[in-house]
Chain A
Amino acid sequence: DIQMTQSPSSLSASVGDRVTITCRASQSIDSYLNWYQQKPGKAPKLLIYAASSLESGVPSRFSGSGSGTYFTLTISSLQPEDFASYYCQQTYSKVAYTFGQGTKLEFK
């Protein structure tokens, strides 16, 4: 199985901050990397697919980059509604779509 490792596991930040979350794959996954946001008690929401494509309706302050084994999710200017958990997911291996362990973004 392809392992996905996110860092950090938690992050404290303030409104207006620029934050970056990283996700590393145990082997190359091309650009088959998606990012999800999850708020407490809610289902995950797709933010970014194909490493850098913004899902429809997602604010442009969210951006993704990377390919191969290293990927980042950046929020350019944190808004109050952005405090949530974030997960990366690889879909390169069609037999197993693994998620990262998540990053919890908390208010400083």
Chain B
Amino acid sequence: QITLKESGPTLVRPTQTLTLTCTFSGFSLSGNGVTVGWIRQPPGKALEWLTHIYGNDNKFYNIALKSRLTITKDTSKNQVVLTMTNMDPMDTGTYYCAHLDSSKWYSYDYWGQGTLVTVSS
């Protein structure tokens, strides 16, 4: 059974760096076909894809946020870490990590519960 869970701060000050951890089970992020991604959602707004990382360490970023995002993985800990620099109140929202299944045309078939991050001074 695949599960994912996000963890990290609930409140971040403007200009600070956000670090979120996705801890997963039920799969290993070491194969080429396995991917974990991050998606966020401002309150009352649409989903926004941020980034994802493949088991072979290939990484892709939302071009609009690329300069601020870094995704890494720790295969031994079954974790994926997202860092986002220079946080702004507009970055407030729920951040989700999700498992991507390449056999299902790269859809996100398992999601974490999400973690709400508020950016405020």
Contact = CB atoms under 8 A, between A and B. Distances in A.
Interface residues of B, number: 23
Nearest to B6: A43
A96 B39 CA distance: 11
Contacts of B108: 34, 36, 44, 46, 89
A49 interface: yes
A69 interface: no
Interface in B15-69: 37, 39, 46-49, 52, 60, 62-63
A98 interface: yes
A95 B53 CA distance: 11
Contacts of B106: 32, 91, 94, 97
A94 B47 contact: no
B104 A43 contact: no
B46 A101 contact: yes
A87 interface: yes
Contacts of A45: 111
Contacts of B46: 87, 99-102
Contacts of B10: none
Interface string B72-110: 000000000000000000000000101001001111110
A91 B107 contact: yes
Interface in A17-60: 31-32, 34, 36, 38, 43-46, 49-50, 53, 55
Interface of B: 37, 39, 46-49, 52, 60, 62-63, 96, 98, 101, 104-109, 111-114
Interface of A: 1, 31-32, 34, 36, 38, 43-46, 49-50, 53, 55, 87, 89, 91, 94-102
